[in-house]
Structure 1
Amino acid sequence: MLAEAARALNDNQLTRAEQLIRSSLVVSPENPDALRLLAAVAVATGHFADAERLLRGAICQAPGFVLAHADLCTLLGRQGRAAEALGLLDELIGAGDGPVWALSLKAATLTAERRADEALPVLRQLIARTPGAAIPQISYADALQTAGHLDQAVAAYRKALDLDPASGLAWWGLANLRVVRLSADDVMLMERAMEKAKPGLDRVRLGFALGKALGDQGRYEESFRRYEDANRVRGLLIHYDPQATEDFVRAAEAAFTSTLFDARAGHGNETDAPIFIVGMPRAGSTLVEQILASHPMVENLGELFELRNIAQQIAGREISNAALPGVIAALPAPQLREIGDSYIISTRRYRRTDRPFFTDKMPANWQLVPLILLILPKAKIIDVRRDPMACCLSNFTTYFNRHTSFPANLADLGRYHSDYAHLMDHLERVRPGRVYRLGYERLVEHPEAEIRKLLAALDLPFDAACLRPHENQRSIYTPSAQQVRQPINGEGLQRWRAYAPWLEGLRDQLENL
């Protein structure tokens, strides 16, 4: 029964999942697995207090229940209570002889709080406690990459591969450094690992890493086929629904009219502190974020889930994608200020400086731009656009984890891009000039001119440091981390053309854009 409930939860069938879980709890009211699943339903519907109570109950019944501890730490972090989560973990760790999983959770919690440098010594402790394990070594490499220690990250991934030569997680981590070229020997080792890999996520990661390595070797058709196979398997795991995205966009175009925005004018939180960076993944948003983070008046907060959490709470239980725009459009005007206030309050925990502006770079927030316009009417919004063929190919060759619902084939990628472009074009018609559109190709070909225009659009004075974003040593938590640590260049602009013979389906999908 609980296995069926877990599947329903994964498919967002929350009512069905809750019915199954509660039926199980009638038979076994203290079952920690059931309590944890019911907590997941509570989180999905925005009932965080109930979720916390359930998770603490699960831990009380099973003190070593690692997944419940992990969920509780994540939940506390989402509520700005990471210090409390870290305190609980420190109690478990004690003088250093506590469970190794508590060390792992502490490192993960610190990383989630954008504190990768603080996670590094914790991970070194974990490695010392588990010297033959590859996973802690991979986590250490990930944190080193995030913190900008590229050479050390490469060495750590290689060390993990010494411990587990077939680790798809380690191979993808190495491949995902982007600026590291994988050798023919690496290809041979990965192909050997692929022969033994079982179906599932590790095989998917190996496929993406092999695609990258074969591309580095100029073996583009083989590279494409590896990406194609890996995406096919990933698609079976994530259940992306392209029709749901299209339905959402159509509903948003109907709901968010100039009349609606005019009627809601003067409401919402009036702060101009947030700068939202939206668009397709792999379109250049991390570079734009790095440029702005180099400005002395702007603090980078990375990819924040706060807006998503707010939308989730507005939606409530099982509101479909198509219904959400109507629910947002129907919000009473006085409530818009309260929601805007809650966003500003929830982002304070990430602030480390007193700079007057901050960036929130979550590409998928393009779907929530209408919500931003309503609850934060003075916030700045940047839509980063890249050539559709180049952008979709880059997404096709990037491994997104199983928790990211994102297209896994070229046709759906093209459709997703079209939906995104249609909504942003609609918003430009009903609120002209409200979203600043920045072309990635123009930015890398004419950086100074485009950066000056960008800063002017944001009402920021020009600062020469923005022309040298690669000198900014901040931690970066996205796949583009190593690329934006290089001087601005157009090196990857034409990369997609090497794969052009196999992109006809994508081209057909995009031809009407």
Structure 2
Amino acid sequence: MAEINDQLCARAAALMNAGRHGEAIAAYRQLLAADPARADDWYNLGVVLKRARHYADALEAYERALALDIDQPEEVWLNRAVIHAEQLGDAEQAAAELENALALNPSYAPAWLNLGNLHEDRGAREAAREAYAKARAADPNDALALMRLAEVTQFDSVDDPMIGMLRQMAARSDLPAMGRADVNFTLGKVLDGLGAYDEAFAAYAAGNEATTEMAGRPYDPQEAEAQIDALMGAFPDRGDPAPSEEEAPIFILGMFRSGSTLVERILAAHSQVTAGGELEHLPALIGAHLLPYPKAAGGLGSARHAALRGDYLAGLERQKLPVAGLTDKRPDNFLHVGLIKRLFPNAKIVHTMRAPMDNGLSIYFAHLHPSVRYAQRLDSIGHWYGQYVRLMDHWRGLYGEDMIDFSYDALVADPEPEIRRLLDFLGLPFEEACLKPHAVTGVVRTASSWQVREPLYQRSSGRWQNYEQQLAPLQAALGL
């Protein structure tokens, strides 16, 4: 029997590693029904359940692993905390889970890092500093701990000792690519804030070079153009949408770093709006049901669209989120407007825009995932921006009456008229609170979490001129 169970365990692990989540879950459940005392396999079941977005079941599996006295239980508590924080939106419970991890292992740096993130998300800078300092004390060689600590520190001089630590860490030849990226992007941000623009740009360039190493292959302009051609080909017209429903989320999308988080904060201040943040449901249903995309998404009938819509709504239900008045803020959903309008014919699309040079600079300075390959070179950013414009022109031709182009630069120059225009488009009455998005309480999970907690300001408009000489490749690629 033990040999059979070990074989079943190996099969379950192979299925999980292959991304065949449903089959892996079934295999682990079969194994644990036969031998329920396998703590490590309860843990593995929790991992794959989380990947399959079965969050309540994942929490239960992790609980079973803990009850069986699994080795390194602090890691299990950490995984439970991540589900509560990122998928269920329960920061208080996430913090409690992390405290459980730290009670078992006070030197467990990942728990301190995640606790610091929770404090950052709710705007508690000093509490975040304390947590990150403890993570750094637990592992002084951890580049991420130093990066996080510096991110929540306010500097007055380029000679600050912590900036010296960042420089030393960035110069280490033994640092993995992720560590070099972490440290250099933070060093660039700190130096930019202090007006040391040449050194800041050099640090950002080094961060992007490290990210390119992790990406594996460079941005391919022809591949990008083919991707946009395929999207326009799969969604050439309004198609056969799902049966019209009154309720639909508000989709906020556009280029990365174009002001989408600020727009969501403005709307979150409204009494009739719930901020959903960067929801995973649309990319998840594409990955689960519409591969190869976009080919598999084209030409579907209304019944199929209704089923896919049900999958999206089931994800909201698991997170206990409403549909009406909910914002789904994923900038790269601009790729999926055709699919959105087939699943939600009444959906309103808020397209965030920003001056191209400022937008391009902000992308180059953002610590984006290596898979966002265009972000690592200025000429690639300019080329991708052109493809984005081409696709948005296509969507605007199909769904213009349900889309609003919302300019970050116009907003910060004269907020009230732009906010009134946005609320009118969404059919919402004007509320004074929307003029003060920085006063909105609650969690903000984004790279710009500290910026959106400040009153509206214009200093990011025209910021690219601080780096005019270095940005010649971007300017040329944009055709400006």
Q: 1:51: Cα distance to partner?
A: 3.4
List structure 1 segments (4+ residues) > 4 angstroms apart after TM superposition: 28-31, 54-62, 94-98, 175-183, 402-406
Q: 1:87: Cα distance to partner?
A: 2.1
Write the distance in 1 (CA, Å) between the matches of 2:45 and 2:261. 32
Identify which range, 183-192 or 222-231, moves more after superposition: 183-192
Is the contact made by 1:271 and 1:379 (CA closer than 8 Å) also made in structure 2? no
Identify which range, 402-411 or 166-175, moves more after superposition: 402-411
Write the distance in 2 (CA, Å) between the matches of 1:35 and 1:161. 37
User: Could you list the per-position Cα deviations for residues 115-144 of structure 1 after superposition, in whole angstroms to 9, with x for gaps in the alignment?
Assistant: 222211222232232223432211110111
Identify which range, 438-447 or 109-118, moves more after superposition: 109-118
Write the distance in 2 (CA, Å) between the matches of 1:430 and 1:119. 43
Identify which range, 473-482 or 449-458, moves more after superposition: 473-482
Write the distance in 1 (CA, Å) between the matches of 2:41 and 2:70. 18
Alignment of 1:57-206 (within 5 A): 63-64=39-40, 68=44, 71-76=47-52, 78=53, 81-94=54-67, 99-113=73-87, 114-177=89-152, 184=159, 185-196=161-172, 197-206=174-183
Is the contact made by 2:74 and 2:102 (CA closer than 8 Å) also made in structure 1? no
1:439 aligns with 2:407: yes
Q: 1:448 aligns with which of 411, 416, 427?
A: 416
Write the distance in 2 (CA, Å) between the matches of 1:403 and 1:451. 34
**Could you say what secondary structure the match of 2:400 adopts?**
coil
Is the contact made by 1:147 and 1:475 (CA closer than 8 Å) also made in structure 2? yes
Relative to 1, partners in 2 of residues 1:96 and 1:380: Cα closer, same or farther, differing over 3 Å? farther
Relative to 1, partners in 2 of residues 1:178 and 1:274: Cα closer, same or farther, differing over 3 Å? farther
Is the contact made by 2:437 and 2:452 (CA closer than 8 Å) also made in structure 1? yes
> Counterpart of 1:366?
334
Is the contact made by 2:436 and 2:455 (CA closer than 8 Å) also made in structure 1? yes
> Counterpart of 2:230?
251
Identify which range, 390-399 or 64-73, moves more after superposition: 64-73
Aligned residues: 466
Write the distance in 2 (CA, Å) between the matches of 1:447 and 1:178. 29
Is the contact made by 1:165 and 1:189 (CA closer than 8 Å) also made in structure 2? no
User: Could you list the per-position Cα deviations for residues 11-52 of structure 1 after superposition, in whole angstroms to 9, with x for gaps in the alignment?
Assistant: xxxxxxxxxxxxxxxxx95564x7435324344xxxx42132
Is the contact made by 1:269 and 1:340 (CA closer than 8 Å) also made in structure 2? no
Is the contact made by 1:138 and 1:157 (CA closer than 8 Å) also made in structure 2? yes
**Could you say what secondary structure the match of 2:464 adopts?**
helix
**Could you say what secondary structure the match of 1:431 adopts?**
helix
Write the distance in 2 (CA, Å) between the matches of 1:218 and 1:369. 39
**Could you say what secondary structure the match of 1:127 adopts?**
helix
> Counterpart of 1:381?
349
> Counterpart of 1:328?
297
Write the distance in 2 (CA, Å) between the matches of 1:298 and 1:366. 21
Is the contact made by 2:25 and 2:49 (CA closer than 8 Å) also made in structure 1? no
Q: 1:256: Cα distance to partner?
A: 2.5
Q: 2:464 aligns with which of 496, 507, 510?
A: 496
**Could you say what secondary structure the match of 1:74 adopts?**
helix
2:148 maps to amino acid:
G
Q: 2:316 aligns with which of 326, 347, 367?
A: 347
Identify which range, 243-252 or 56-65, moves more after superposition: 56-65
Write the distance in 2 (CA, Å) between the matches of 1:220 and 1:440. 23
TM-score by length of 1: 0.83
User: Could you list the per-position Cα deviations for residues 370-405 of structure 1 after superposition, in whole angstroms to 9, with x for gaps in the alignment?
Assistant: 101111110111110011111121121121245666
Is the contact made by 2:253 and 2:332 (CA closer than 8 Å) also made in structure 1? yes
Write the distance in 2 (CA, Å) between the matches of 1:230 and 1:268. 47
**Could you say what secondary structure the match of 1:477 adopts?**
coil
> Counterpart of 2:285?
310
Q: 1:421: Cα distance to partner?
A: 1.5
1:298 maps to amino acid:
V
Note the aligned Cα RMSD (angstroms): 2.8
